Amino acid sequence: MRAARFSQFGGPEVLEIVDLPEPHPGPRQVRIAVRAAGVSLSDWTKRKGLMDPELPQTLGYEAAGVVDELGEGVTDATIGDRVFGVCGDGAAQAELAVLSAYAPIPPSLDFPAAAALPAAIETAMRALDQLGVASGSTLLINGASGSVGSAAVQFAVARGARVIGTAGAANHDYLRSLGAEPVTYGEGLTGRVRELAPKGVDLALDVAGSGILPELIELAGGAEHVLTVADFEGAQKYAVTFSRGDSGRALHALAEIGELIESGRFEPPVVRTFLLAEIAEAHRVGEQGHGRGKLVLLIG
């Protein structure tokens, strides 16, 4: 089967499409014929050698497709079901992938829209859980208009928190529609946030990895009130919590999101699609940052 992989660390040019053996599901897992796979910040973080040291590495933690093989003990899916979910092996950007957690695709979504969800909603829910975001909290989200950021905005608002979100001016109306108070990122951010919250914020979440952890720490009153899912090196430097999947996943988000979407209480991210062969370009676009929505590879 065709799959994305890299055999050396570096820029997007190290990515390649190779033939790999077909995977098979273990107990309580399903295999899908992948129709679409999400591209996330973790992909280029891995590609640069900032997460895992071994080589070669496959890519992709989220996908949507059609179930074509069942693992032992699976009772909640059948061959032919449309599902989306998490590939724990990090090999979802391939023609076939094994999902370790999955849920039915909401009826109103196509495969690319469904593939855009797993990493974003799990990451957002996990970050809010770890920060302790609750009713009455004031939360600052750096990078609020992207797929993870917009999910975090909506989940936080649903919890009763006040949300201030950074984004480019073109996305301010979008953030307001989700219930957040927008501020423009860049130089002078601290002052702009204090215009909205003179005493600072209770908590801060960085999903953009744009190097502003010191400002977030100042606004939140200490590193212990800040969490990043995007700046591994900065987290080490400033003693900020870096959240990744092995720190406890919030997989309950997969089962819960369908009802929220179908009832109109959650707006899925805008999707920008690329062919699997265009994966290097998808990485280049993603690394430029500041874009709204989610990058998705079309497969099969």
| 3 state SS of 209 | coil
DSSP letter for each residue of 12-76: GGGEEEEE-PPP---TT-EEEEEEEEEE-HHHHHHHTTSS---SSEE--SEEEEEEEEE-TT--S
Per domain, the residue ranges of the chain are: 2-117+268-298, 121-246
**What is the separation, in whole angstroms, between the first and last Cα of the chain?**
11
CATH topology classification for 121-246 = Rossmann fold (3.40.50)
Could you say which architecture CATH assigns to the domain 2-117+268-298? Alpha-Beta Complex (3.90)
pLDDT of residue 201: 98
Tokens of 110: 């196509």
Instruction: Indicate the pLDDT class of residue 262, thresholds 50, 70 and 90.
Output: very high
Looking at residue 106, what is its pLDDT? 95
Which of 104, 101, 93, 153 shows the shortest CA–CA distance to 295? 93
State pLDDT tens for residues 52-69: 899 999 999 999 999 999
d(CA 15, CA 4): 7
At 219-243, the pLDDT tens digits run 999 999 999 998 989 999 999 999 9
Q: Which pLDDT score, from 0 to 100, does residue 13 have?
A: 97
When mean pLDDT is compared across 241-250, 259-268, 269-278, the lowest value belongs to 241-250
3-state secondary structure of 87: coil
What residue ranges in 133-202 does DSSP mark as E strands? 138-142, 162-167, 181-184
Q: Is 51 exposed, middle or buried (0-12, 13-18, 19+ CB in 10 A)?
A: middle
Distance (Å, rounded) from C-alpha 212 to C-alpha 244?
Answer: 19
Give the distance between the most distant pair of CA atoms in the chain.
57
Long-range contacts of the stretch 284-290 (C-beta < 8 A, 24+): 284/12, 286/39, 286/41, 286/43, 286/44, 287/12, 287/44, 289/143, 289/208, 289/209, 289/210, 290/168, 290/185, 290/208
In whole angstroms, what is the distance from residue 58 CA to residue 208 CA? 23
149-204 pLDDT, tens digit per residue, is 999 999 999 899 999 999 999 999 999 999 999 999 999 999 999 999 999 999 99
Q: What is the mean pLDDT of residues 260-281?
A: 92
Average of per-residue pLDDT across 11-33: 98
* pLDDT above 90: residue 277: yes
Q: Which is more confidently placed, 56 or 265?
A: 56
Report the chain's mean pLDDT, rounded to a whole number.
94
Distances (CA, A) of 171 to 156, 188, 211, 212, 261: 18, 18, 20, 20, 21
Q: Say whether pLDDT at 250 is over 90.
A: no
This prediction's pTM: 0.84
Task: Identify the band that residue 246 occupies on the pLDDT scale cut at 50, 70 and 90.
Answer: low
Whether 245 has a pLDDT exceeding 70, the answer reads no
pLDDT at residue 127 is higher than 80: yes
The secondary structure of residue 229, as a DSSP letter, is S
Cis peptide preceding 118, ω within 30 of 0: no
Query: What confidence score (pLDDT) does residue 51 get?
Result: 84
